[in-house]
Amino acid sequence: MTGRPHRVGIFVYDGVTLLDVAGPAEVFREANRFGADYRIVLLSPTGADVTSNLGVRVAVDGGVSSEPIFDTLLVAGSDLYPRARVPAELSDAARIPAAVAGRVASVCTGAFVLAAAGLLDGKRATTHWQVVHELAARCPTCRVEPDAIYVRDGTTYTSAGVTAGIDLALALVEEDHGPDLAREVARALVVYMQRAGGQSQFSAPLQGPPPRSPALRTITDVVTAAPRGDHSLGELAKHLNVSTRHLTRLFRDELSTTPARYVESIRFDMARALLDQGHTATQAATLAGFPSYESMRRVFARKLSISPAAYQRRFSTARRADPG
């Protein structure tokens, strides 16, 4: 960066998620304590103050047409716009400062505002794991990366849900001032400099609707009821009185997976729930039906990029489950 202040504009509007604003702003403010020079400006479409999702009034510094060029424009998110179309006046307002900003970023569902403004066309992007499919539908030319904490495509940055805005802000600080200063900021805020794994580690288990066909719903019920049972392809086919070839085709056509992978996913989700409740990793592996702890560890590494122990340190309840 040059010796002049680095202007960060945070674009807000009625219904904006307050933490999407406060989290990154706190990172930039903290960076100033360690030698950075960020000047944070809150701007709204018209320059009028806005009301956040918590009902808290957010006082802004100006409107999109009254502020000079920003080095970084950060668009905060809202619960409103995955559920409804972004109003044209909002996307148009965001497009004005974005057109001349040095770099443009979004926090969580702020990606929907960028997409509506045409700022994600042909780019890689991410957003909160619960609405990545909706973003892909709204912006068919985007390559939406559902597991990323944040994504950079040129001078455009998008981040995952809510607190991922802090991860993104730290990455921007590191880009501007190097890893040492960013690390000091992370330590001061007691957050990870770079968290392990993607955002799938934060998602709820058993994602997506249940299988449509009664046959596959039966398989789900069988495995869930007795996860430690023999759920080989042959045994599952016997439950339905169908051939192994027919069962494999059902899974491929409806769920785009194999029976073995589906059983593994059910066991994985059960193991996560058991770890969340305070069971040890060995107990979780046994109760969820994994042949061994090592086999469970490999699945966690593949799906979440972290070990069961690391997952439990982040997410388990403080109370130990009764092993019964």
DSSP per residue, 101-159? -SEEEE-TTHHHHHHHTTTTTTSEE---GGGHHHHHHH-TTSEE-TT-SEEEETTEEEE
Q: How confident is the model at residue 138 (pLDDT cuts 50, 70, 90)?
A: very high
Q: How far is CA 140 from CA 17, 109, 118, 149, 212, in A?
A: 25, 16, 11, 21, 26
Listed residue (114, 115, 113, 109) closest to 129, CA to CA? 109
Please check whether residue 46 is in contact with residue 63, taking contact to mean a CB–CB distance below 8 angstroms.
Answer: yes
Mean pLDDT of 251-277: 86
Task: Determine the number of helices (DSSP H) and then strands (DSSP E) in the chain.
Answer: 14, 11
Catalytic residues: 108
Residue of 19 and 190 predicted with greater confidence:
19
Phi-psi sector, 197: left (phi>0), alpha (psi -120 to 50), beta: left
- For 83-108, the pLDDT digits (tens) are 999 999 999 999 999 999 999 999 99
pLDDT of residue 204: 47
pLDDT of residue 316: 54
Of 2-16, 20-34, 215-229, 310-324, minimum mean pLDDT range: 310-324
Dist CA 160 CA 23 (whole Å)? 13
Greatest Cα pair distance, the chain, in angstroms, is 74
Mean pLDDT of 273-292: 87
- For 22-61, the pLDDT digits (tens) are 999 999 999 999 999 999 999 999 999 999 999 999 999 9
pLDDT of residue 194: 59
Mean pLDDT of 269-298: 88
Please check whether residue 20 is in contact with residue 162, taking contact to mean a CB–CB distance below 8 angstroms.
Answer: yes
Residue of 267 and 223 predicted with greater confidence:
267
Q: How confident is the model at residue 163 (pLDDT cuts 50, 70, 90)?
A: confident
pLDDT of residue 49: 97
The share of the chain scoring above pLDDT 90, in percent, equals 56
Dist CA 44 CA 295 (whole Å)? 51
Does 198 score more than 70 pLDDT? no
Of 11-25, 51-65, 71-85, 273-287, minimum mean pLDDT range: 273-287
Listed residue (40, 23, 33, 24) closest to 184, CA to CA? 33
Q: Which residues are bridge partners to 62 per DSSP?
A: 43
List CB contacts of 324: < 8 A, sequence separation 6 or more: none
pLDDT of residue 199: 61
Dist CA 199 CA 165 (whole Å)? 13
Dist CA 114 CA 202 (whole Å)? 24
Domains of the chain: 6-189 (3.40.50.880), 214-315 (1.10.10.60)
pLDDT of residue 192: 63
Q: Alpha-carbon torsion 246, 250, 251, 256, what sign?
A: positive
Does 270 score more than 90 pLDDT? no
Dist CA 113 CA 90 (whole Å)? 7
Residue of 38 and 202 predicted with greater confidence:
38
Mean pLDDT of 191-202: 60
pLDDT of residue 69: 92
Query: pTM of the entire structure?
Result: 0.67
Q: What is the mean pLDDT of the chain?
A: 87
pLDDT of residue 219: 82
Q: Which residue has the tokens 């769920």?
A: 255
* Helix locations, 178-232, DSSP H: 179-189, 214-225
pLDDT of residue 279: 84
Q: How confident is the model at residue 323 (pLDDT cuts 50, 70, 90)?
A: very low
Dist CA 160 CA 151 (whole Å)? 9
Please check whether residue 20 is in contact with residue 169, taking contact to mean a CB–CB distance below 8 angstroms.
Answer: no
pLDDT of residue 63: 94
Q: Which residue has the tokens 């018209």?
A: 46
Residue of 149 and 88 predicted with greater confidence:
88
Please check whether residue 72 is in contact with residue 8, taking contact to mean a CB–CB distance below 8 angstroms.
Answer: yes
* Beta strands per DSSP E along the chain: 6-11, 38-44, 50-51, 57-58, 62-63, 72-75, 103-106, 124-125, 143-144, 150-153, 156-159
